[in-house]
Amino acid sequence: MGSCKEEDGNQPNCLWVDGPIIVGAGPSGLAVSACLKENGVPSVILEGSDCIASLWQQKTYDRLKLHLPKQFCELPLLGFPENFPKYPTKHQFISYMQYYAIHFSIEPKFKQVVQSAEYDVVCGVWRVRTQDCEYVSRWIIVATGENAEPFIPDIQGIEKFQGHVRHTSVYKCGSEFQDQRVLVIGCGNSGMEVSLDLCRYNATPHIVVRNTVHILPREIFGFSTFAVAMALLKWLPLWLVDKFLLMVTNFTIGNTDTLGLKRPKTGPIQLKNATGKTPVLDVGALSQIKAGKIKVAEGVREITRKGAKFVDGQEREFDSIILATGYKSNVPAWLKGCDFFTKEGMPKTPFPNGWKGDNGLYTVGFTRRGLLGTASDAVKIAKDIADQWRLNKGCKKH
């Protein structure tokens, strides 16, 4: 990496990067950097926060474990340590990523928030600007994640509420909510797990289930539900696998409709593939719902000073509100002059073809398939860039 321009002092403000610029040092950025290195291609990672895997280190709750078994969450080239449990804790996952970065000598440039990136048609390069510098390269790899920023929907009246309101990205542990009445808005994996955590601290969570939701047992007959689905998909059509999953789910956890958790008409995997909506893999919240410790509420009509009015006409008081409303991509805010992404910041071309755009643009980790998708993207990108790299080096020699 070399400097091509100098500011008044000694600080360079424009740097030429020999290999690709990777934006984001989460699992995706690390994975693609390692795969490039394995292919002899250097890279520079620009990371906005002050650590690797900032989502996992800074925005997740204490009791989080991987939702999927470890074999589906490994990064390429270096697996989990053998002594890790089937579902590693977030702390184990973070330690794995820290070791991964050390093992491949990956040293991201921290506190470099990418504010804009644009292809310079005249020079045939990407100009990537942070608050400190402009980085220039032939390639850019977007690895800022599907979950870059909390998604906070408009909720009527929320500004009037006098208690605490927080998003799950800043929720750590239920101890702060001891004995409180808590409204949890959103019933995905985070909403369910936070509600369960709150129960442990004698809080009374009311979880809002505005739409339909697929709840599946995390394991069926001792095997991970996800692993069973993956295995069956090799042999059976998707609709049949969905039917099988729902049949077994009905048998093991019963009809969730009677608990106020209505199932979508579309099957869980088909829905995930079509919309990205992940089924909830139950780790204990359902039994608390059955026991009446977590109350299920229909949609909220409006938030009041002291609580909420629900669509069924009921009104309740709450001490706190937790928004388990998910995350969104931030790509549209900084990637300019490029129509590869939708306005929601996801590649327009769906998996498995969304990893490569025009003019040296790549994306890793935007597959709606978690870390499994990341691993698949990282390997493909590294091979594609390595082919161009070798060609380029070969040309220079002659």
Ligand X SMILES: Cc1cc2nc3c(=O)[nH]c(=O)nc-3n(C[C@H](O)[C@H](O)[C@H](O)COP(=O)(O)OP(=O)(O)OC[C@H]3O[C@@H](n4cnc5c(N)ncnc54)[C@H](O)[C@@H]3O)c2cc1C
| Contact map string, positions 185 to 224, toward ligand X, x by CB under 6 A | -----x----------------------------------
- Sequence letter at residue 245: L
Q: Is 378 in the site for ligand X (CB under 6 A)?
A: no
Q: Residue 12: in which H helix or E strand, if any?
A: strand 12-16
Report in angstroms how near the CB of residue 329 gets to ligand X at its nearest.
9
148: DSSP letter: S
Q: Which is nearer to ligand X, 28 or 304 (CB)?
A: 28
CA distances from 375 to 27, 47, 378 (A): 9, 19, 5
Position among 23, 106, 192, 194 found at the interface with ligand X (CB under 6 A): 23
Q: Which of 137, 225, 374, 376 is in the footprint of ligand X by CB under 6 A?
A: 374
Residue type, 177: F
Instruction: Report DSSP letters for 332-369, one per residue.
Output: HHHB-S--SB-TTSSBSSPTTSTTB-STTEEE-S-SSS
- Residue 113 CB coordination number (10 Å): 14
Q: Which is nearer to ligand X, 114 or 286 (CB)?
A: 114
Question: Scanning residues 337 to 366, which ones bind ligand X (CB under 6 A)?
Answer: 365
Q: Closest distance between ligand X and the C-beta of residue 133, in Å?
A: 13
Kindly indicate which of the ranges 19-27, 293-301, 302-310, 389-397 contains the residues binding ligand X, using the contact rule CB under 6 A: 19-27
Integer CA distances (angstroms), 336 to 22, 136, 339, 341, in order? 16, 15, 9, 10
Restricted to residues 41-60, the positions that interact with ligand X (CB under 6 A) are 46-49, 53-55, 60
| Residues 123-152, mask of contacts with ligand X (x by CB under 6 A) | --------------------xxx-xx----
Task: Look at residues 327, 391, 338 and name the one whose alpha carbon lies nearest to residue 363.
Answer: 338
* CB distance 124 to 138 below 8 Å: yes
Looking at residues 72 to 91 of the shown chain, list those that interact with ligand X (rule: CB under 6 A). 73
Question: Per CB under 6 A, which region of 22-30, 78-86, 209-217, 266-274 contacts ligand X?
Answer: 22-30
Residue the block writes with tokens 């789910």 = 249
By DSSP bridging, strand 223-224 and strand 280-282 are unpaired
Positions in the binding site for ligand X (CB under 6 A):
23-29, 46-49, 53-55, 60, 64, 66-68, 73, 113-114, 143-145, 147-148, 190, 330, 334, 365, 370-371, 374
